[in-house]
């Protein structure tokens, strides 16, 4: 998982806004269908958060059949093709679907658990951005017994290399086990939070993303979202169809 940081390239901006792929965005830019602050966008141009981006109706009206899947990622599998080493396998390598879908957010190689995959690029930023405070829940096992105040300290926010994490919901569920609910997703955040308090993570499993739960899904298996899950997901990001 990662936060969106400005400035970003215009093609990535259009991708995160759900209008099209980055390759399609390049084509629209070349054809003059995208403007930034009243001027035609240039290839590779960067967008600031305060910039006014205007796109022609041809881009807005791009239609696609959207599909949504849940997958229980095993330890050892990386989230994205772009980040893998030559000998590694990504989620896209091991979880085959009729449609080409992509992971929404990240789950590091040494972690396991729930991932959302879709071809609906409209929802990516709405799911990932901490601005919307969508919950993600984890079960975490550490290397030694928890102190009586560990969960309370962690829930109030922890300094990780100069960044203060947002308040979280943290509960002890065993002598060495925590349940953690976050509304942000800094790189390796939970591992860094635990390290700041003197613990090493031995096992990390994501069990929920927003309304979608891992449940009894076996490791390495996946499924389509149910009608109710899909409806709740789209409603939660402001899309009702």
Task: Catalogue the active-site residues.
Answer: 108
The full DSSP string for 121-169 is GGGHHHHH-GGG---EEEEEEESSPPPTTHHHHHHT--EETTEEPPP-E
Measured in degrees and rounded to the nearest 5, phi and psi for residue 204 equal -135, 125
Contact 206, 138 (CB under 8 A): yes
Alpha carbons within 13 A on the beta-carbon side of 187: 3
Taking the CB of residue 139, how many other CB atoms lie within 10 A of it?
19
The terminus-to-terminus CA distance of the chain in angstroms comes to 26
In 8-134, which ranges are continuous DSSP H helix? Answer: 10-16, 22-30, 57-60, 91-94, 124-128
The full DSSP string for 118-129 is ES-GGGHHHHH-
* Residue 229, token pair as written in the block: 């899950």
């Amino acid at each position: 998982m990662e936060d969106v940081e400005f400035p970003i390239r215009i093609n990535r901006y259009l991708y995160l806004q759900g209008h099209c792929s980055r390759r399609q965005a390049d084509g629209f830019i070349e054809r003059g269908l995208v403007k930034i602050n009243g001027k035609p966008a240039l290839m590779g141009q960067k967008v600031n958060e305060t910039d006014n981006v205007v796109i022609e109706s041809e881009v807005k009206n791009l239609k696609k059949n959207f599909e949504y899947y849940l997958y229980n990622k095993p330890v050892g599998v990386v989230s994205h093709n772009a980040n893998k080493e030559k000998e590694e396998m990504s989620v896209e390598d091991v979880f085959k679907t009729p449609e080409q879908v992509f992971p929404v957010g990240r789950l590091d190689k040494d972690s396991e658990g729930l991932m959302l995959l879709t071809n609906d690029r409209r929802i990516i930023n709405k799911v990932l951005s901490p601005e919307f405070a969508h919950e993600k829940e984890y079960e975490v096992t550490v290397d030694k017994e928890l102190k009586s105040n560990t969960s309370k300290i962690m829930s109030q926010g922890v300094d990780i290399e100069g960044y203060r994490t947002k308040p979280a919901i943290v509960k002890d569920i065993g002598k060495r086990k925590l349940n953690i609910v976050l509304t942000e997703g800094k790189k390796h955040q939970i591992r860094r939070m635990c390290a700041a308090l003197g613990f090493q993570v031995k096992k990390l499993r994501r069990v929920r993303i927003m309304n979608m739960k891992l449940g009894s899904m076996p490791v390495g298996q996946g499924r389509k979202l149910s009608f109710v899950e899909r409806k709740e997901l789209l409603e939660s990001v402001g899309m009702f169809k």
